[in-house]
Amino acid sequence: MSPTEPAVGLTDVSMAFSGKTVLESVSLDIAPGSVVALLGANGAGKSTLIKILSGVHTDHGGQVRVAGEPAALQSPLAARQLGIQTVHQRIGEGIVPGLTVAENLVFEELAQRRGNPFLNGAKLLARAREIQAGLELGWSDALLKRDVTELGISDRQLLILARALATRPRLLILDEPTSALSAAEAERLFALVEKMRDDGIAVLYVSHRLGEIDALADRLVVLRDGRLTEDQAKPFDWDAALRAMLAQAHEATTARPVRDAGPSREVALSLRGVRLFEGRTPLDLDIRTGEVTGVVGLLGAGKTELARGLFGAEPFTTGAVELDGKPYTPRRPADAIRAGIHLVPEDRHADALVPGWSLAQNISLPFLKSFSRLGLVNTAKEDALGRDTIDALGVVTRDEHSTVEELSGGNQQKVVVGRWLAETPRVLILDEPFRGVDIGARRDIGRRARALAAEGAAVLVLSADVDEVLEVADRVVVLAAGEIHLEAYGEDAERDRVIQTISASV
């Protein structure tokens, strides 16, 4: 590889799932000895790009080059053999329960049978010491002999990183690497990234923490809706980067609401002194009936913590919440549901849908008491609800008996929204409701949220997408690191001001 040859390059790389494009003609060169930051909101295509480079997704268009030569990354092993190592955000995917810490450190060598295929005992422990020394972890032999599940999350992440570095990769991909690290551990990582750059290793650094990117990266690129929308060298123009990530205009999801000049309706939920993150300033927030409150913030801003706290999934530990003027202290989701507070969660696959169940069954799930007598489900009533949801939200499906796997992503999202409208809520919380759905589904969901507010409910929409929030909300709240930085109605909540507030909160 010549000094000017990229360590890894992409040319017109595209990817689609079930006919939906998730990456479109992405071209990117990553030079040796450089730190390139990849920035993008949830659903922008970052994970897909990482999986292509890691050899997980192989059925893509375009070309990947390694050291200037076309490369077929047909498996994660093939990617690693070509010098591409990835430290994934989901730490559990990188460790093997039941093996010791030492065995996990040398696992790739054991799996590939490099050197002595019977590496064990003293030799295995010695090699594990060498690998962990690369990060100066200082783990004792006693710790190296323990089951890896005894390690905390941050130590597991450091283990995976040390193992990746043991091969001295050509390209190291770090996906949200500090998400589970303490400040001291993060500082150690930053020093290591700088050393890797000095040693000629290329680093693709994926993070929502803009301060880290500003300190570490030589260059930043932005993905939005599967396309590269920004490419900057240092010093970075953060306003331009955030606009490219958050506020590229697209077709409206629904008619822009007519906003009041300020608060005039009764308060449904009142939060006082609620702390979303340890060490951050507690927040006060009122959520009013008859309006849509939009909370916008980057990943890690505290949106999901706010939603789950109100729903009783992760109860707040500080402050006080009132519902219609009375104390509200849900300890579990069932308490919230009884109080008329419904949540459309961020991850519909993990938290909302039951695979193999029909559309009607998924919708009726939280309210089975209303559909049952003497332990038997009234399937006719359940099916009728399924048909009503199909009609109300325009779900594209064969009928109410279709399994959720048969539906597109946008129609799955409509099913989740429809579930929580099966019984009229006092408060409806929508956490990233438009993620991964097409413009038609966004329009239908946005229209239903507006209609519900018009009927007297309080609606809370949380999203990292500025446009999505502006299109549906009466009031806009900017959240960053668990703190409110802006709360505005009408013209005071125009796009430029929202983006500038997010940029200033970095």
331-360: average pLDDT: 86
High-pLDDT (> 70) share of the chain, %: 88
* The pLDDT value given to residue 358: 92
At residue 369, the 3 state secondary structure works out as helix
pTM, 2 dp: 0.64
The structural domains of the chain, ordered by start, are 8-246 (3.40.50.300), 267-351+424-504 (3.40.50.300)
- 274 strand-pairing partners: 283
Per-residue pLDDT tens digits for 391-426: 877 788 888 999 888 877 668 878 888 787 777 889
Maximum mean pLDDT: which of 81-95, 151-165, 318-332: 318-332
Per-residue pLDDT tens digits for 300-317: 789 989 999 999 999 999
Q: Is the pLDDT of residue 252 over 50?
A: no
127-139: average pLDDT: 85
High-pLDDT (> 90) share of the chain, %: 40
| 449/437 Cα distance (integer angstroms) | 16
Q: Is the pLDDT of residue 377 over 60?
A: yes
Q: Is the pLDDT of residue 190 over 90?
A: no
* The pLDDT value given to residue 430: 92
Per-residue pLDDT tens digits for 266-295: 999 999 999 999 999 999 999 999 999 999
Residue with tokens 């200037």, as numbered in its chain? 68
Structure tokens of 455?
């009927």
DSSP H helices, 300-408, are 303-310, 333-338, 348-351, 359-364, 379-393
Residue 108 contacts residue 93 (beta carbons within 8 Å)? no
